[in-house]
Amino acid sequence: MTVKGTFHLTIASDHVEIGVNGSMNLDPIGSLTVSGAASVGANGFVASLTATLDASFGAKVGLKFTASVSVQINTSSNTQPLAIDKTTTINVPAGFRVHIQGSVTFQITVDNKTVDLASATGMVDVAIQDRSFTLQFDVTIHLAGLLDIKAKGGAGVYADANPGIALLLDVSVDANIL
């Protein structure tokens, strides 16, 4: 295992900050990359963290897998700036958000040729921000080059100046049998 990266910790009279930017090579499993920061002060707790996994552990049995997850949380009532490192500052909206994106592929070998048997890619995003709850997704499943199933949509529950519920679902099936 190889670990590389930077870490910083600031303790001041009015706040505490922590930041990380690093990677781990987890031979033979794959690699993990993490970056993010957190701050606690008079405005509450603000954090943003992203982790990406590139897992090659299943390559010998025909499995490829990648995924990333981003989490943001801000307990104050306003968008807060957050320094990720000395050169990068992001604005974190009040509330909570999780974004997951990834792909997985199952492969078989026939006559020394690798063929994708099935794969899936997509993302899911869940947020509680600005007096609303939202869920969004966009996923695609591919089966042996013969069938693609796609689902895209979302839901929102709003308690702001324009309260209500919104729903969207788009599903498609594409069959290639010839």
76-131: pLDDT as tens digits: 999 999 988 788 889 999 999 999 999 998 888 888 888 888 999 999 999 999 89
> Mean pLDDT across the chain, nearest whole number?
90
Q: Which residues pair with 121 in a beta bridge?
A: 103, 140
The reported pLDDT for the residue numbered 172 is 96
- Neighbouring C-beta atoms of residue 147, cutoff 10 Å: 14
The stretch 133-146 carries a mean pLDDT of 94
Task: Tell me: pLDDT of 142 over 90.
Answer: yes
Domain ranges of the chain: 2-175
Give CA–CA dist 174/167, Å, rounded. Answer: 23
- Is residue 135's pLDDT more than 90? yes
What are the φ/ψ torsions at residue 59 (nearest 5 degrees)? -55, -40
Yes or no: say if 45 and 37 are a contact pair by the CB < 8 Å rule. no
Which residues does 111 contact at the CB level (< 8 Å), separation at least 6?
A: none
> Percent of the chain, pLDDT > 70?
96
